[in-house]
Chains A and B, each alone.
Chain A
Amino acid sequence: MNKILCECGHENLEGTKLCQKCGSPLTEEEKGKKIADMRYEGTAIRSKTYNKSVIDKIWNFFSSVKVGISLIIINLIAASIGTILPQEFYISVATEEEKKQYYSDVYGWFGEVYYALGLSDLYSSLWFQILVLMLGVSIIIASIDRGFPLHKSLTNQRVKRHINFMKRQRIVANGAVTEQQEQTLELVEQKLKALKYNVRREDKAIMAEKGRFSRYGAYVNHVGLIVFIVGVMLHLVPGFYVDESMWLREGETRAIPGMDGYFLKNEKFILETYDNDPQGEQLKQGVNTMAKNYQTNVTLYKQADDAVPGQADNLQEVKSYEIRVNHPLKHEGYAVYQMDYRLNELKTMIFDLSNKATDESLGQISIDLANPQDEYDLGNGAKVRLMGYYPDFSGFKEGVPQTASQTPNNPAFIFKMYTPETPDGETSFVAIQQTLEPDGENIYKMKFANVEMRNMSGLMVRYDKTIPMLFVGGIIFMIGVAIGSYWNHRRIWIEQLADGTVRLAAHTNKNWFGMKKDLDALTSHAHLPHYVDQQELENNENAEIEKDGKTL
């Protein structure tokens, strides 16, 4: 490895701009500058030192600030594209076909293209996740690449700096002290301490420093970001994150998806509306009723500890709860939210067994559509046998009734009716607004009498162990931002030469105004020569040259 030997005798790493010990400029480029580049203290940024092996090349790619900023911009653009149309996650259709249909129906050709490009599920797409992770890598590598050298040079600062270093700071002062020459350094030290600087003294040189930790702000907020990204990543690791939804009918008990061993029973779904006369906006938008409350009364059950799926007997009641919007059922880190509802699904159908001619009734049967019975005995010598039940009747296929789903949307029944008059039984096919009598004219019929409805609750099951981590990441990030923005790193170097004159230089990473105020106080207290802001001088010169150019 090549080392650069400084005139002070210190060996510096290749790529170093300012000597790590005395601050003397080492490169030709650096020597040509009027004001030293104080970023990273002129240390060799690791990635810029070597660029030979593949590892170095990958490393350099990710450590580049340009690459990092490009990644941030690309990420932002990609993420915002995902917000143009709602993501698949938020539309309630199940199959790919339905999704495709939904996007083209609702958003036309744009929706079709959006879906075809996979933008409808952008946040879980491979390329998006790779982008986010690349940003993460860039943050980590850039922090390592710049953070460690910076830390090293900040901790290894020498009190006495090279004249070239001093001369090339933005603020410099040079000259004789106006009064009390012998005490100058004592006065300086005294004042700087009063201004809460950390003061180090070596012979005739003083270095004062304040707020060094603010230089670490950027790295602290990088750490916060990394913690946050890791937290988001953990969503994908089993056991850290559950996000499931379930439909639960009133009276139904079912296993909770994502919450092993737990069962939920829907006791009742309640929808309450405001009892008001529509007015104003409500009328304009054609809204008649306004919801006041969506509520699902549930009972949570737990399986025995050693039970396996399918063993649903012996459930132990855990608790009853009324789930409302923003009031989820909470248990062991899980939360069950009220999300959706469907009203009025057929639950029970009641029929009259009645004589077609006289309309005289032999009694009623009530069929629980979730649990129909084989036989309903009316007691007076009449009974009805249920021969077939089709919850969602969709027509006949080769003479056999078909059902399209298991939901009782359009129930149909085949009854065999036994009465004292018809001991052999009469067969009747009964569907909504449709009755067929396959064996010819019947004497009796099943006359529809009444119906009972039930509601369905759409619930969402959430479990997130990563929240504390996201929280901690966010807090660290904010602390980093605060450290970096509200404090600044001020340094003052002063050297008294043999002839009694004083040489001063000062640097801060931000807030030069504050720095100058400190210097003003110091100058008048210790009777120092006036300082100059070299950058201001340079700017003024440039401005004047420009002006001259224009007048010419």
Chain B
Amino acid sequence: MEQKKKRSIMRGVILVILAIAIGYTVYAAITKDKIEIIAAGAEAPDFEVIDLNGEKHRLKDYKGQGVLLNFWGTWCAPCEREFPAMERQYEPFKEQGVQIIAVNFAQSEFEVEKYVTNMGMTFPVAIDKTKSVFTAYNIGPLPTSIFIKPDGTIDRIITGEMSEVEIIQYLESIKPE
């Protein structure tokens, strides 16, 4: 009897170990594009950008505040459509401790400056000339918006255009308490 029990436990343990190995592999395979980099709930990689006015913005320094990190390009039509809404929400949310930073995909200063003047954006806009922030955040299609909570973790990642209602709702959810 004793031996039978021991055998069952042994087999059970071996099967559980194998099941865990399979489970992990399958999970890693499904999420392999994002697993190490970014997913909701993960720590947002720290970065530093210099905006068009020459000011440095480092994610670490915004700890305690919410951050909307928006990746865009001048040719991207949905980016252009969501900027006015973002602009309207910038001031009210800034007062409540939520920062908006727009990061451009390695375009020329000429293009970006003209675009910003045209659109009347007042929130910081930076150019990621070496695409290193894009690489760190594994950005695919534009626009991609990353909502970062005051504790530095990612609240949600939105790929594609957002309506003003959605922008307000998502910004609300990353407001500091």
A residues neighboring B (CB under 8 Å):
1, 46, 50, 53, 55-56, 58-59, 95, 124, 126, 129-130, 133, 136-137, 140-141, 144, 233, 236-239, 253-257, 260, 263, 308-312, 369-374, 386, 388-389, 391-392, 402-406
Q: Which of B6-14, B85-93, B146-154 contacts A (4 or more CB under 8 A)?
A: B6-14
Given A133-B22, A406-B74, A406-B75: A312 and B130 within 8 A (CB)? yes
In the complex, B111 has a CB within 8 A of chain A: yes
Residue of B nearest to A263 (CB): B130
User: In whole angstroms, how far apart are the Cα atoms of A124 and B32 in the complex?
Assistant: 10
Given A58-B15, A141-B14: A309 and B29 within 8 A (CB)? no
Are the C-beta atoms of A255 and B131 separated by less than 8 Å? Answer: yes
Given A238-B35, A309-B135, A309-B136: A126 and B26 within 8 A (CB)? yes
For B106, list chain A residues within 8 Å (CB).
254, 406
B residues neighboring A (CB under 8 Å):
1, 3-4, 7-8, 11-12, 14-15, 18, 21-22, 25-26, 28-30, 32, 35-36, 45-49, 58-60, 73-75, 105-111, 114, 126, 128-137, 141
Are the C-beta atoms of B11 and A371 separated by less than 8 Å? Answer: no
User: In whole angstroms, how far apart are the Cα atoms of A136 and B12 in the complex?
Assistant: 17
Are the C-beta atoms of B108 and A370 separated by less than 8 Å? Answer: yes
Are the C-beta atoms of B132 and A392 separated by less than 8 Å? Answer: no
For A310, list chain B residues within 8 Å (CB).
47-49, 126, 128, 132-133, 136
User: In whole angstroms, how far apart are the Cα atoms of A50 and B4 in the complex?
Assistant: 9
Chain A CB within 10 Å, residue with most, of B7, B25, B74, B130:
B130
Q: List 22 A-B contacts (CB under 8 A).
A: A1-B3, A53-B8, A55-B15, A59-B11, A124-B32, A129-B25, A129-B26, A130-B26, A133-B26, A140-B14, A140-B18, A141-B14, A236-B25, A256-B135, A309-B132, A309-B135, A310-B47, A310-B132, A369-B108, A389-B114, A391-B111, A406-B106
User: In whole angstroms, how far apart are the Cα atoms of A347 and B136 in the complex?
Assistant: 28
Residue of B nearest to A242 (CB): B36
Given A55-B15, A126-B30: A308 and B47 within 8 A (CB)? yes
Residue of A nearest to B59 (CB): A308
Distance in angstroms from A282 CB to nearest chain B CB is 40
B29: contacting residue among A1, A236, A372, CB under 8 A: A236
Are the C-beta atoms of B132 and A312 separated by less than 8 Å? Answer: yes
User: In whole angstroms, how far apart are the Cα atoms of A59 and B7 in the complex?
Assistant: 11
User: In whole angstroms, how far apart are the Cα atoms of A260 and B47 in the complex?
Assistant: 12
User: In whole angstroms, how far apart are the Cα atoms of A141 and B10 in the complex?
Assistant: 12
Distance in angstroms from B159 CB to nearest chain A CB is 12
Are the C-beta atoms of A374 and B110 separated by less than 8 Å? Answer: yes
User: In whole angstroms, how far apart are the Cα atoms of A140 and B73 in the complex?
Assistant: 52
Contacts A136-B18, A309-B47, A310-B49 aside, 4 further interface pairs with beta carbons under 8 A come to A310-B136, A312-B129, A371-B110, A388-B114
Residue of B nearest to A311 (CB): B48
Chain A CB within 10 Å, residue with most, of B8, B109, B110:
B110
User: In whole angstroms, how far apart are the Cα atoms of A119 and B111 in the complex?
Assistant: 43
B4: contacting residue among A1, A236, A257, CB under 8 A: A1
Residue of A nearest to B35 (CB): A238
For B26, list chain A residues within 8 Å (CB).
126, 129-130, 133
Residue of A nearest to B134 (CB): A255
Distance in angstroms from B14 CB to nearest chain A CB is 7
User: In whole angstroms, how far apart are the Cα atoms of A317 and B21 in the complex?
Assistant: 41
User: In whole angstroms, how far apart are the Cα atoms of A208 and B163 in the complex?
Assistant: 85
Are the C-beta atoms of A371 and B15 separated by less than 8 Å? Answer: no
Are the C-beta atoms of A254 and B132 separated by less than 8 Å? Answer: yes
User: In whole angstroms, how far apart are the Cα atoms of A308 and B57 in the complex?
Assistant: 12
Given A237-B28, A310-B132: A372 and B108 within 8 A (CB)? yes
Are the C-beta atoms of B25 and A55 separated by less than 8 Å? Answer: no
User: In whole angstroms, how far apart are the Cα atoms of A403 and B110 in the complex?
Assistant: 14
Are the C-beta atoms of B130 and A371 separated by less than 8 Å? Answer: no
Are the C-beta atoms of A255 and B75 separated by less than 8 Å? Answer: no
A255: contacting residue among B48, B110, B136, CB under 8 A: B136
A144: contacting residue among B14, B29, B108, B128, CB under 8 A: B14
User: In whole angstroms, how far apart are the Cα atoms of A239 and B36 in the complex?
Assistant: 9
Are the C-beta atoms of B29 and A126 separated by less than 8 Å? Answer: yes
Residue of A nearest to B128 (CB): A310
B74: contacting residue among A133, A233, A386, A403, CB under 8 A: A403
Given A255-B131, A263-B130: A406 and B29 within 8 A (CB)? no
Residue of A nearest to B3 (CB): A1
For B45, list chain A residues within 8 Å (CB).
308-309
